[in-house]
Structure 1
Amino acid sequence: MTDKPVKIPGPDHPITVTPAASRVVVRVGDRVVADTTQALSLKEATYPAVPYVPRADVDMALLERTDHQTYCPYKGDASYYSIAGAGENVVWTYEAPYEAVAPIKEYVAFYPNKVTVEELPL
């Protein structure tokens, strides 16, 4: 258990995790980093929905773990990865997410201002 404050999503800060209604393809230049029809869509409060991609559908050999970490009182501790050609801390993941967002374990998300994230019709 953590000694950090944990907040339970509620009416003032709702979080939903649902299957994405699209195919998600992530590219750095012409190189495909991820391609999946199994993404999850995490919608948190008033923020735009974020696609989370299963690690199994990511070319993890292209990712390099960094020392950067952040904490979210609703989701837990986030770890980060860099991708050559896209910069540092381009990818984040919650390896031990809080129960409210447990489905995103073993998934990663990408900063869309650092890579190309396409959401295509299924």
Structure 2
Amino acid sequence: MSIPHSNDRPVKFPGPDHPIAIERHPSRIVVKSGGKVIADTRDALMLREARYPAVFYIPRKDVDMTLLQRTDHATYCPYKGDCAYFSIPLAGEPGVNAVWTYERPYAAVAPIREHLAFYPDRIDSIEELASDAISG
């Protein structure tokens, strides 16, 4: 099912043909890029969408935003809304537009608001640690 978006882009709703599930992830997630810890959280969300690989969404409060630089790049997802991007300058060329966020996501995916996601192939690592692991 879809309805027109205010700027004539379609808005679609998750359903049997395109399921989207969002749940809190139980493990601690640490994101590293350019040899530095970019994010460290125990409050990650896992978004599973249709046949795409699952994606961690990290709360902004657990991301070192001083290491990111907003870019002019933008995309649109009919299920989630307008998507904005950040680069990780210390990562060099691979860090360009390596981070994305839905700042005003559609209601069906509202929990990802104030969260960031990272392209795994544009950063050093996304580590899943036991929730009691100590940062080193």
Sequence identity, in percent? 61
Greater share of strand? 1
Describe how 1:1-122 pairs up with structure 2 within 5 A.
2-3=6-7, 4-86=9-91, 87-115=95-123, 116-122=125-131
1:57: Cα distance to partner? 0.2
Instruction: Kindly provide the CA deviation profile for residues 83-102 of structure 1, in whole angstroms up to 9, marking residues without a partner as x.
Output: 01332100000000000000
CA distance in 2 between partners of 1:29 and 1:67 (Å):
22
Greater share of helix? 2
Return the letter of the residue paired with 1:2: S
The answer to whether the Cα contact below 8 Å between 2:27 and 2:42 also exists between their aligned partners in 1 is: yes
Over 2 Å off, 4+ runs: none
Q: Secondary structure at the match of 2:79?
A: coil
Q: TM-score, with normalisation over the residues of structure 2? A: 0.86
Report the CA distance shift for 1:2/1:29 in structure 2 as closer, same or farther (over 3 A): same
Q: TM-score, with normalisation over the residues of structure 1? A: 0.96
CA distance in 1 between partners of 2:6 and 2:27 (Å):
35
Unmatched 5+ stretches in structure 1? none
Larger radius of gyration: 2
1:108: Cα distance to partner? 0.2
Return the letter of the residue paired with 1:36: T
